[in-house]
Amino acid sequence: MPMNATGVSHIAICVRDLDVSLQFYCDRLGMSVVSDAIQDTTTGGLPHVYAHHRATRRQVRLAYADGAKPTLTMTSHPGDDPDGVPIKLDQVGISHISFSVPDPKALAENLAEQGVPLAAPMDVWTNAEGRVSSFYVYDPDGILVQFDAGG
């Protein structure tokens, strides 16, 4: 039987410092906070999907536009440091998140001017006609974020 999904509800990433990540995703990329809550992670099914015992987590949902789906859910564990490192495109796991934007080149230039680390120099992303159809940056935790022209 097929799952009959109607869409992707959210993408979740665990971050080291939610406030630093919120500065990046909200202040630099323009996303908005939909919800911000502290949750008990010792009940329900959550203990079964964690690598380590965690008492609570802060969960913030972000939207890239009003009512947009999927949302980006960021979690952190107050008073507890997460372990692990972000992966690259050739490693097992979710390697990056991607957003379609109207003008990747303008956004890349703007983010670079703001000091956001590009995953490679601008000329790598620029074709012979001077267009940029896709590029990657690193968020504050080193997670790859892609921006493309869509389609």
Residue 76 shares a structural domain with residue 93? no
Residue 42 shares a structural domain with residue 104? no
What's the pLDDT band for 150 if we cut at 50, 70, 90?
Answer: confident
CATH number (domain holding residue 119): 3.10.180.10
Mean pLDDT, rounded, for 107-112: 94
Give the sheet arrangement for strand 144-148, strand by strand: 96-100, 144-148, 134-138
Provide the pLDDT for residue 101: 94
Is the pLDDT at 5 greater than 80, yes or no? Answer: no
Residue 79 shares a structural domain with residue 37? yes
| Model confidence pLDDT, tens digit, residues 81-99 | 888 899 999 999 899 999 9
Provide the pLDDT for residue 151: 64
CA torsion sign, 12 to 16 to 17 to 22? negative
Averaged pLDDT of the chain: 92
Q: Give residue 128's domain range.
A: 85-151
Provide the pLDDT for residue 142: 93
**3-state SS, residue 105:** helix
| Model confidence pLDDT, tens digit, residues 37-73 | 999 998 888 888 888 888 999 999 999 999 999 999 9
What is the domain count for the chain? 2
Provide the pLDDT for residue 82: 86
